[in-house]
Amino acid sequence: MPEPQPSATPSAASAATVEKARLLRKLSGEGVLVLPNAWDAGSAAVIASAGAAAIATTSGGVSWSAGRGDGQQLTRDQMAEAARRVVDAVPVPVTVDAEGGYGPAPEDVAATVRALVAAGAAGVNLEDSRAPGGPLFGVAEHAARLGAARTAAAAAGLPDLVVNARTDVFLFGIGAPEGRLDAVLARAEAYAAAGADGLFVPGLLDLEVLRELCAASPLPVNAMAGAGGPTVAELAAAGVRRVSVGTALAQAAYTAAHRAAAEILGEGTFASLAGALDFGTVDSLLSRRS
């Protein structure tokens, strides 16, 4: 985990941010909230135009768009400014992937939440990994960090900020396989008591295990889906309440650019460009927000 990052002095939540946080909280309680993750203002505008009721960012995609790798290689202020650009580009609520909170202490997480509230975020995703691949914060340690996020949001005038607590037990294979579900449930109990609103469990797409988790968890469960895995309908039937895709959409976009560039440079043809959104459509999505 990088050293704590400095942050500019934030302002209190705006009236628009307060309304968006309330809307995100309402959406989170109605059926399944599907969040194709954005990585910059343009991708957010396109995703919103496709019908998304809310936008989630992906830390990996945001970092790549800034020329950095994932894993808190941006500063807190750089991450918050990227979040602000996404917020300003769309009319819907935005929940921000704040990775591990940009510092290990509860005070670091509080500073990150204050910066995101000032940027207009309606929600935040906070993971319990100390670094990519682990190890994880202890249960009580991360619960204290989540509690600090909740307190900071309220103090900044945004008590309805949606706090999604991510646990990486399954993603990084922490502990013996047979004990991972119980480990996640223990974390869910502590995270709920600390004020979290949801439980994000990337790396878990086994529908039977998801059913057990969703039935026993005190928090609604968020799954990270992708190609070859269960559909939104199948995840919903298992009890999942929120579905996101992490870096997958950004990867698909970069893959499309790579494929088209390779065709242009290699064959000198342009078939890969067919069917793209036209210039006017994309330009209008952002011009009308300026």
Q: How far apart are CA 255 and CA 181, in angstroms?
A: 34
Q: Which residue has the tokens 């995101």?
A: 116
Residue at 31 is within a domain: yes
pLDDT digits (tens, 9 = 90+) for 186-229: 999 999 999 999 999 999 999 999 999 999 999 999 999 999 99
Domain count, the chain: 1
Residue at 60 is within a domain: yes
pLDDT digits (tens, 9 = 90+) for 42-97: 999 999 999 999 999 999 999 999 999 999 999 999 999 999 999 999 999 999 99
pLDDT digits (tens, 9 = 90+) for 13-34: 899 999 999 999 999 998 999 9
**According to DSSP H, which parts of the chain are helical?**
15-28, 41-49, 59-65, 76-89, 106-119, 139-155, 180-193, 207-216, 232-237, 248-266, 279-287
pLDDT at 10 over 80: no
pLDDT digits (tens, 9 = 90+) for 127-157: 999 998 889 999 999 999 999 999 999 999 9
Residue at 239 is within a domain: yes
pLDDT of residue 169: 98
Residue at 181 is within a domain: yes
Q: What are phi and psi of 125, to 5 degrees?
A: -110, 125
Residue at 274 is within a domain: no
Report the share of the chain in percent with pLDDT over 70.
Answer: 95
Residue at 10 is within a domain: no
Average pLDDT along the chain: 95
Residue at 1 is within a domain: no
Residue at 278 is within a domain: no
- Full domain range(s) for residue 61: 15-246
CATH number of the domain that residue 216 is part of: 3.20.20.60
